[in-house]
Amino acid sequence: MRDLIFPLFFSPQEPVGVEEGLSLEDIEEPEIIADNLEIPWEIVFLSDEEMLVTERPGRVLFIGEDMQEYVIDEVDHIGEGGLLGMDKHPDFEENGYLYIYMTTDDDNRVDRYQFENGEFTRDQTIIDNIPVARFHNGGRIKFGPDGYLYITTGDAQDTALSQERDSLAGKILRITDEGEIPEDNPFDSEIYSYGHRNPQGITWDEEGRLWSTEHGPTARDELNLIEPGKNYGWPEITGDQEAEGMETAVLQSGEDYTWAPSGATFWDGSLFFTGLRGSAIYEARLDGEEVDDFLVHFKEDFGRMRTVSEGPDGMFYVLTNNTDGRGTPGEDDDKIIKINPDIFRVSD
């Protein structure tokens, strides 16, 4: 068992200790897939050797044997806004559709593009009029195991919007690939869950349960188990606070520690998510709907990290974010770092 580095107490489950995980000293030097990137935000895999990456200033990069850059002129890169999440259609091999979350002069929106034979062309807007601000724009999008598109939105610096079900701010949305409302959505609208501050990571476990990472106010960052129609409390409650009719986080960072969590992935019974200010890869080992152990890996080894994704080769790909204006860029930042996830089990 690794040494306990500090205790944090997470309601509603029993206390969970934070354990020191791996550091660079514990592994071979990881492979750098690409470097000198500018605020990379999302990665989508086309094959074992080819991928697309969004850069927040408004570019999509094709990375393969060579690199190709596609500029999206509609993007307004302001504060935390810009070109953010991206996912490919479940039938991408047949239709070439990519879905991209972006900030514009007027709103946050998801547009659909088509990527075929090296050509990158806009198809249509899937959803728009998501409130926009300099900060708290959310921005992660993923197709779920049910084939629907899930979208995280921030409160756009207007906390009251998170509780308003006639606003798309501070929500997790669920729509079809054409932007329509699924019949089984809880409110006959795009809204799947509400009461969120600034969720930036979503993933599903092996039972199909949806989990989300969320930025808290200064500290009290959250890991939430998302259920349709539930209210996750912001701004009325946060962290381990409780209120009738509102959901308390399964795990939270405490009053004095900040994860600033972003992208997440599920692997071998654990939720892995990256920390920006926390500058670590966090691992929450699940026991059903609860967290059994919580580990902090590579603390400050790579600086700020935006997301971790599992590639088709079974490897983890980590996007650093040291050029986002809040970090200290190192040589050749930002980078895509390739890590074999088996290292997280070697010492068990």
Is residue 240 domain-resident? no
Q: Which DSSP helix (H) or strand (E) runs through 310?
A: strand 305-310
pLDDT exceeds 90 at position 6? no
The C-alpha atoms of residue 167 and residue 160 are separated, in whole angstroms, by 10
Q: Domain for residue 335, yes or no?
A: yes
Structural domain includes residue 225? no
SS3 163: helix
Report residue 111's pLDDT band, with 50, 70 and 90 as the boundaries: very high
The three-state secondary structure class of 223 is strand
Strands 290-297 and 16-20: parallel
334 pLDDT higher than 80: yes
pLDDT band of residue 347 (cuts 50, 70, 90) is: low
Averaged pLDDT, 226-255: 97
Give dist(CA 224, CA 313) in Å, integer.
Answer: 28
Is the pLDDT confidence value at 18 over 90? no
pLDDT of 28-74, one tens digit each? 999 999 999 999 999 999 999 999 999 999 999 999 999 999 999 99
Q: What is the structure's pLDDT at 269?
A: 98
Q: Is the dihedral of CA 253, 256, 262, 266 positive or negative?
A: negative
Q: Is 341 helix (H, G, I), strand (E, B) or coil?
A: helix
pLDDT of residue 16: 57
Q: Does some domain include residue 343? A: yes
SS3 265: strand
Answer whether residue 267 is part of any domain: no
Q: pLDDT tens for residues 308-317?
A: 999 999 999 9
- DSSP letter for 247, please: P
- The string of pLDDT tens digits covering residues 190-238 is 999 999 999 999 999 999 999 999 999 989 999 999 999 999 999 999 9
Residue range 75-110, pLDDT digits in tens: 999 999 999 999 999 999 999 999 999 999 999 999
User: Looking at the predicted structure, is the pLDDT value of residue 346 above 90?
Assistant: no
Using alpha carbons only, give the angle 241, 242, 243 rounded to the nearest 5 degrees. 135
Q: Which domain holds residue 322?
A: 1-34+274-348
**Does any domain span residue 8?**
yes
Percentage of residues in the chain with pLDDT exceeding 70?
95
For residue 99, tell me if it sits in a domain: no
Dig out the tokens for 330 from the structure: 């190192």
The confidence score (pLDDT) of residue 168 equals 98
- Number of domain units in the chain: 1
User: 343 by DSSP, 3-state: which?
Assistant: helix
In a domain, 317, yes or no: yes
In the chain, which ranges are continuous DSSP H helix? 92-95
- Taking phi over 0 as left and psi of -120 to 50 as alpha, with beta for the rest, 92 belongs to alpha
**Confidence tier at 5 by pLDDT (50, 70, 90):** very low
Residue keyed to tokens 């071998």: 268
Model pLDDT for residues 140-171, shown as the tens digit of each residue: 999 999 999 999 999 999 999 999 999 999 99
